[in-house]
Structure 1
């Protein structure tokens, strides 16, 4: 299993859905929700009715959360897809054992309502001890799971394609006396979870697009930029010159070792203190929430479809795991 990911600026972006199947077989390409409505946007910044005082927003939901998989739901879908695919391959007479999905290590500072940490580290005690590293340190890449060795017949049954260069195929081949389904066993599992062999496992593309877009919009908003500037001035008082917390979090110097350096700990400690002094998280979270609420309203019809499909996918995954 890969080691715990380092806390870095990448945590401010959404983590992709990583389905534990052979390379090229994790998911499919179609996403009807993306065709239903392209994201629309309004140039005028949204109003923020109230700004709470927050050191951490990890236990605060965001409007888009209802249209995205929570950590536990993501694991359920991954486990169901792996089980369904394995069961299909067993029917074809193959001993197919992909790495089993398991909950990834999550720091005590990890958000409870989302997969990704949009606002970076928010626990002053953890930052003082571990800086921008994961709790316990970062031992490195670690051992990667072995690649599955697939025979041509197994590849055909798995992907529905006879040509190994083809990602998926229409199926129809006969393997061990059974007819291969559309897109193979991967497609059969996807059909069970989404209703279509070429459905999209995980979050809808439109929801992901809005999650990224609203994060960028909230960072560029004048109200967030102003609190970033105040934070930057606060950091200078401690002798550190960073334009915003994203720059401090993403400092490449933190990648030099498995544990934080003394300077990293000083920067992280100052970062936490300046976040508290300026109410950085409270402002950023409030602005971000306002952008998300407006994005949902601007794409209301498509978002309603996404929410229905997401619930159906989780329900199907739960049923599959129950046998």
Structure 2
């Protein structure tokens, strides 16, 4: 009987949600809730589907896309997140939590995840880690309960609890973010985020990607897994796939990657997404160049934090 894979609805823990928000913000110094400035700056992509040439990708998880030139690279992201740790630690120590160490922000950013916008794509990675991150593959979410007073100092008031006396707005994590991303929430800081989202949405709905997903789903069904889209599996990281990596997870992951290769979904996704991003860059180069300057300023600020230990 085919195995039915359904993600649970257990939400991410506070740390998981915070890191996700920080990563999205870091892409362009913007904020997901910064008003409609991004919408005014980002031109809509053309209605027609671009011509593409689907070619085999030797390293699909590491394939460079046109919009990558306007985002933090791996080294810059490491600098930004290490600076976030330093600033957060300094604030927490100031509030009396002398033993606090914010070692989580960068824990997963350095390890290759073997994934793209269609989920897991690296066969060797799948065999070793399943759907986990390379840095901490066996650690379940929410493994440690956090002191409510510490949480209030770190994030601000939690679940109706009072704020920590002397804590900045949004807690120490909020203070660190404001120092590193001073343009966050201001007009003209969301173009990269908007274009990235537009390109991904268009690629997901592209007829060639949709056809490849149907072939992938049929392949998965033949192997005993009832899933319609790769995103169903991707959503299970941190929900169904927790604790030590199991044989079931490894089987699902390796089958997933194998079916993506067999259906050419991986190569089709990369080619189609690159085509939409290329158009996005061509139509919005001036705005993207401006955001890249802001990004460089953010990296410079973070570099000073690393050199001086504070800001």
Normalization by structure 2: what TM-score? 0.67
Mapped pair 1:154 → 2:166: yes
Partner of 1:100: 102
CA distance in 1 between counterparts of 2:131 and 2:256 reads: 10
Equivalent position SS for 1:282: helix
Partner of 1:278: 263
CA distance in 2 between counterparts of 1:285 and 1:234 reads: 20
- Is 1:190–1:200's contact at 8 Å kept on the other side of the alignment? no
Matches within 5 A, 1:25-104: 34=38, 37-48=41-52, 50-54=53-57, 56-81=59-84, 83=86, 99-101=101-103, 102-104=105-107
- Is 1:64–1:292's contact at 8 Å kept on the other side of the alignment? yes
Q: Give the drift of 1:253.
A: 12
> Which is greater in Rg?
1
CA distance in 2 between counterparts of 1:51 and 1:123 reads: 18
Partner of 1:164: none
Mapped pair 1:308 → 2:286: no
Change (3 A) 1:67 1:262: same
Deviations 1:105-134 (A, max 9, x none): 3686425xxxx8423122223324543344
- Is 1:33–1:302's contact at 8 Å kept on the other side of the alignment? no
Change (3 A) 1:141 1:83: closer
Aligned residues: 269
- What residue ranges of structure 1 are gaps of 5+ in the alignment? 1-9, 20-26, 160-166, 169-184
Partner of 1:241: 226
Q: Give the drift of 1:254.
A: 7.0
- What residue ranges of structure 2 are gaps of 5+ in the alignment? 1-11, 25-30, 154-162
Partner of 2:203: 218
CA distance in 2 between counterparts of 1:254 and 1:28 reads: 24
